[in-house]
Amino acid sequence: MIDATDFEKRKAELWRHVVEGQPLASDDSVNSPVHYNSAGIECIEAMSAMVEPSEVPPHEAYCWQNAFKYLWRWPYKNGLEDLKKARWYIDRLIYLKERIGQ
């Protein structure tokens, strides 16, 4: 975990990147892209942790994780487009749950 000071520094760096277009010192677009790394937490790690104890079927877990991913990154990457993608995956998950009768 990161401490409050590191968190504030990271938040300020992200703000400068998003609002002012400044490059990130820690931006590694392949291994640790900024839009999937917030406050020292990798989105993929959070996604793994959220489904690990569940008994959600594979395709439903995929929809759940994708919705989560787009909600995670929307303020850092594609804004409204990512929110719409998250909604698409949530709607798909609802459809699957309704189709099988929960």
The region, left, alpha or beta by phi > 0 then psi within -120 to 50, assigned to residue 30 is alpha
Residue 45 pLDDT? 87
E strand map for the chain: 37-38, 41-42
Cβ atoms of 56 and 75 closer than 8 Å:
no
Measured between alpha carbons, how far is 3 from 31 in angstroms, rounded to an integer?
23
pLDDT tens per residue across span 6-61: 666 666 766 666 666 666 555 565 555 555 566 677 888 888 898 998 999 999 99
Q: Enter the pTM of the model.
A: 0.64
